[in-house]
Amino acid sequence: MTRRRTRGETGAPGAASVSLAVAALAIACAYPLLLLFVQSLFPNALGGEWSGFLSPYRRLFSTPDLARMLGHSLSWAAATTAVAWFFGIPCGFLLARCALPGKGFARLTMLAPLMTPPYIAALSYVVLLQPGGFGDRLIGVPEPLRDWFFSFHGVTMAMALASFGYVALGVEAALLRLPPRMEDAALQLGASRPRLWRSILIPLLLPAILNTGLLVFLDALSNFGVPAVLGTRANLALLPAEIYHLLTSWPVDVPVATALSSLLCLLALLSLRISAALTRGSGSAGGRAAGGRLVKLSPARAALAWLWIGGLFVLSTALPYAAMIAMSLVDRWTDGAPAWTLRHYGALFRPASGGRAALLTSLGLAAAAATLCAAGGGFVAYVAARSGRLARRAIEALAILPRALPKIVMTVGLILAWNAPWVRVNLYGTLGMLLLAYVVCYISDALAYAGAALRRMNPRLETAALQLGAGRVAVLARIVAPQLGPALAAAWLTTFIVCVRELVCSILLLPPGVETTATFIFNQFEQGDLSSAMAMATVTIGVTATILFLLQRTPLFRMKGDV
């Protein structure tokens, strides 16, 4: 693609666009990251002292268990990604290419696990599988299954089930934009199905597979909640838990926590480069997109497809949700048997409880953040894809780093950055601050989806428009944006969902007296009120699912690939 381009009136964005994208990323992502990095080099730099150069890194290597934690974190994240691919890629194919009855519902089932806050899902599995839990009461959980689940395997499985939706949606969006010409040619020339996958589909899908895999990998690498709840039995020593410990127990050690986080950053950059190197060979395939043409499935195959999707739905959603809903209905436990009630739901919407306000705050913030991410991420991805290699790498790295850091580190960085004595804008302590944090932490979704779509888009159309005298804004609005539509819609959905459930940034950055659903749930937990917490989680998921269901009926989100 780059080779074919000539200087002059090409599809390359103008200097103004490039500087706008770089400046926005520099202020939003690079500035807090830089402050953190400076602190890890000079622990008291912000206090005006330049002593103790590199001391955090020296102390870092005296951390006991460091190699073990690093190894655990890496293998856990890699295993999670592999399992998520295994679950997600077939789902993406079924959604994009097969005439599957009930497809809208199937797509919702991919999104449902993303809606659940990971620690709620983990806790639901605990409630389900622990000795004397719901599972034991109903059927009796076999001991080997229990041992298997509360180990490395179970933690990996729980995390993969929570995030395979990313892969499924990414692969679906990519397949929808894939022109069928090459497939048709290969099939007519007598290629077998496996050959077709190996030589054509996988190489063309590679950007989408790797980009979404990267998201899953980074989420697992920086996730704290799932291993914290499930991993205590599994005895998994992971880096984010160590970082969390450094930041929340005395002595709070921001420099060492940051130094430790820079290891995670290194891993993230490494995986970004590897994934970029792997996708270099796979280019675009010109031609019109597949549109509405679908593979007919025989009844047996359709049943098999639904068994796959349905099985995943049961494991990832139905079981934990059943446990969650059951918990929210428990009045009290007598002799280990629950008495049922609806009062926790009623209590949520009493004006004094603040439940309704928290829900509205969450939905508003998440919608705003998702819109900003989709628009901003799409623009940045476009600029990155159509500019030189160096600029592209810098932009990609900047946008991906906040995702690789544990949220608490990123939040501390944002506080350092926007509460600094030299900052004159009064952003810190307002809802705007939380919005910025969401955008910074989750803009990588939009970039990953849009980046994969852009790699398959040929810049010739843009060049043609420019040479015919269209302005750059018109090119962006009338050529790039419509083609990116499905990818950005998918990014909007996942960003919206994860922002509704986001906990760590919310707790540390919310202005006084304002709550989101996640902090509401967390506070109920802290007070030992599991049932109210689960009731709020149920309502939040219900409302989010309804919104997604309604959005799917609008043309933009219906994910048709035709331009």
61 sits near another protein (criterion: CB under 8 A): no
Give the one residue of 103, 153, 233, 393 binding another protein; rule: CB under 8 A.
233
Interface mask (CB under 8 A) for another protein, residues 131-160, using x and -? xxx---------------------------
**Pairing mode, strands 337-340 and 330-334:** antiparallel
Give the one residue of 30, 126, 209, 452 binding another protein; rule: CB under 8 A.
126
Residue 282 or residue 371: which is nearer to another protein going by CB?
A: 371
Question: Quick check: 445 and 494 in contact, CB under 8 A?
Answer: yes
Find tokens 């995943």 and name the residue: 312
430 sits near another protein (criterion: CB under 8 A): yes
498 sits near another protein (criterion: CB under 8 A): no
Size of the site for another protein (CB under 8 A): 73
Question: Quick check: 447 and 381 in contact, CB under 8 A?
Answer: yes
121 sits near another protein (criterion: CB under 8 A): no
Coil vs helix vs strand at 335: coil
The CB-of-82 to another protein minimum distance in angstroms stands at 25
Residue 78 or residue 507: which is nearer to another protein going by CB?
A: 507
Query: Interface with another protein by CB under 8 A: which range of 215-223, 307-315, 409-417, 453-461?
Result: 409-417
228 sits near another protein (criterion: CB under 8 A): yes
Cross-strand partners of 339:
332
The CB-of-519 to another protein minimum distance in angstroms stands at 9
276-315 positions binding another protein, by CB under 8 A: none
Interface mask (CB under 8 A) for another protein, residues 363-382, using x and -? -xx-xx--xx-xx-------
Give the one residue of 186, 391, 461, 481 binding another protein; rule: CB under 8 A.
481
Give the one residue of 511, 542, 558, 562 binding another protein; rule: CB under 8 A.
511
204-223 positions binding another protein, by CB under 8 A: none
User: In angstroms, how far is the first alpha carbon of the chain from the final one?
Assistant: 21
332 sits near another protein (criterion: CB under 8 A): yes
In SS3 terms, 29-76 reads as HHHHHHHHHHHHHCCCHHHCCCCCCCHHHHHHCCCCCHHHHHHHHHHH
In a 13 Å sphere around the CA of 345, the CA atoms on its Cβ side amount to 13
512 sits near another protein (criterion: CB under 8 A): yes
Could you tell me which residues come within 8 angstroms of residue 428 by beta carbon, excluding any fewer than 6 positions away? 415, 418, 419
Give alpha helix (H) positions in 130-253. Answer: 134-138, 143-149, 152-176, 181-188, 193-196, 202-222, 225-234, 239-248
Give the one residue of 21, 200, 204, 229 binding another protein; rule: CB under 8 A.
229
Find tokens 């969390």 and name the residue: 244
Residue type at 225 in one-letter notation? G
Tokens encoding 14: 């103008």
Residue 79 to residue 308: CA distance in whole angstroms = 20
Give the one residue of 22, 115, 241, 297 binding another protein; rule: CB under 8 A.
241
46 sits near another protein (criterion: CB under 8 A): yes
